[in-house]
Amino acid sequence: MEDFKKTMDTIHAPNDLLKRTMEKMHEENERLQKEGEMAPVIEVASRNDNRKKISTRFTQWRVQIVAAAAALVLIVGGATIYRNQQTSVPWTTPSDMDAMASDNDSSFELEKTMKGKMMDMYHNGAKTKDIKGVPVLLVYDEEKDIRYAYWETETGSGWCESDPGETEKDFMTMVKNGIH
């Protein structure tokens, strides 16, 4: 490597290049110093510009965020409404129809049972309080009804005040005979 060193020792920057570079360095140095004197004014101006940029950027961000949120709400709301429309069909689903049918059947059966019991009571004179499965309000109290009808006939009040028809007279007679 001694040869390498010797060779490198012989390499020198040309003098004219050195002088030219020196001149350019001086020019650059003067230019930088002039810029440095103007730096405070430029710095303040650039700082204001930066503030404007930051505030503008912040405003833009806010607008974008609000717009995105609004769009999101609209999309979610629209999707929910659409889904509800697709899934909810009132009065028409098979399950609803079945439920309604079963309800109707049960109420029909109940009504039928009540009618049958009441007819039995009317014809057979059975005690209504012994009947099970029939609502109390609907129980026909035969004795009370007969007593009330007799009292109306005796006093001439109520619907028997006017001249009663044949059917009603028969009914009164039957009631009197039944009680006494």
Q: Which of residues 14-33 bind other proteins (CB under 8 A)?
A: 14, 17-18, 20-22, 24-26, 28-29, 32-33
Select from 7, 85, 162, 177 the one that contacts other proteins (CB under 8 A): 7
Count the site residues for other proteins by CB under 8 A. 26
Specify whether the CB–CB gap between 121 and 142 falls below 8 A: yes
2 binds other proteins (CB under 8 A): yes
42 binds other proteins (CB under 8 A): no
Phi, psi angles (nearest 5°) of residue 154? -65, -40
68 binds other proteins (CB under 8 A): no
Spatial distance between the Cα atoms of 73 and 94, rounded to a whole number of angstroms:
34
Q: Number of helices (H) and strands (E), helices first, in the chain?
A: 5, 0
Minimum separation from the CB atom of position 2 to other proteins (A): 5
The alpha carbon of 105 is separated from its chain's Cα centroid by a whole number of angstroms, namely 34
Burial of 55 (0-12, 13-18, 19+ CB in 10 A): exposed
Minimum separation from the CB atom of position 11 to other proteins (A): 5
Q: Given the rule CB under 8 A, which residues bind other proteins?
A: 1-8, 10-14, 17-18, 20-22, 24-26, 28-29, 32-33, 36
